[in-house]
């Protein structure tokens, strides 16, 4: 974030019409919503500093340009996918490959080895992975839950005669994916399923809050 603030400050009074540095674009694109709020506040503070040294209209114009460029280059993702077919599987796999910090999974069952491998890969490259799943389904034939737990991934389950039937995941606290899709071979190959992916902050936050509630309520295996 320091690089972004410094870049904008260094270009005070310069036109941004030709675009901004690609490295800065990538840095903006990787910020989550909380970091974006902090960035805007820091730029506002910079504008006040410029206002005291120069003139208020120039500082305000600079701040407006900064906010406009952030808006144009900030991360957004909204997508809906349907199956049968491999598109949902491939989309989830691609999302898991993009995880950098955290991966919270809350799914009814995991029997598709391809997705289990991507979860394991996340864990291997240092992503903090957590899994919540159903206590009954983890004992199904082909379940990968025990393997993922043995690999060192924290796993929690419900203790109920009913099912933990959620099917969602949260990546880096900025992407949520959810829908009817079970993480099974049948779901990819034969079932009519759906998946929604969004980076909408309010939606991601609601899912994140619910995940934390479930994590506190569920039981270790």
Q: Is residue 88 within 8 Å of residue 184, measured between CB atoms? A: no
Omega into 84 within 30° of 0, i.e. cis? yes
Q: Which alpha helices (DSSP H) does 74-200 contain, by range? A: 87-98, 113-124, 145-150, 185-189
Q: Please state, as a whole number, how many other Cβ atoms lie within 10 Å of the Cβ of residue 99.
A: 23
**Catalytic position from the list 167, 190, 205, 209:** 167
**Catalytic position from the list 134, 135, 158, 172:** 172
Q: Catalytic residue at 172? A: yes
How far apart CA 64 and CA 67 sit, in angstroms, is 5
Angle between helices 113-124 and 87-98 in degrees, nearest 10: 10
**CA angle at 60 for the pair 56 and 64, rounded to the nearest 5°:** 175
Structure tokens at 168: 């969602």
**Catalytic position from the list 94, 165, 190, 209:** 165
Catalytic sites, residue numbers = 165, 167, 172
């Amino acid at each position: 974030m320091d690089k972004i603030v410094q870049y904008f400050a260094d270009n005070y009074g310069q036109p941004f019409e030709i675009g901004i540095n690609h490295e800065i674009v990538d840095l903006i694109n990787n910020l989550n919503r909380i970091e974006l709020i902090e960035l805007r506040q820091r730029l506002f503070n910079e504008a006040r500093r410029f206002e005291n040294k120069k003139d208020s209209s120039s500082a305000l114009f600079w701040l407006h340009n900064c906010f406009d460029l952030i808006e144009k280059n900030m991360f957004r993702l909204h997508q809906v996918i349907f199956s049968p077919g491999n598109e949902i599987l491939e989309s989830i796999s691609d999302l898991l490959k993009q995880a950098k910090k955290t991966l919270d999974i809350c799914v009814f069952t995991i029997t598709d080895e391809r997705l289990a491998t991507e979860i394991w890969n996340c864990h291997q490259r240092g992503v903090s992975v957590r899994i919540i799943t159903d206590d009954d389904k983890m004992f199904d034939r082909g379940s990968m839950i025990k393997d993922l737990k043995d690999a060192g991934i924290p796993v929690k389950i419900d203790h109920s005669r009913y099912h933990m039937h959620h099917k969602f995941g949260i990546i880096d606290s900025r992407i949520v994916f959810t829908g009817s899709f079970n993480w099974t071979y049948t779901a990819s190959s034969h079932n009519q399923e759906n998946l929604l992916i969004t980076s909408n902050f309010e939606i991601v936050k609601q899912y994140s809050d619910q995940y934390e509630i479930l994590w506190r309520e569920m039981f270790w295996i």
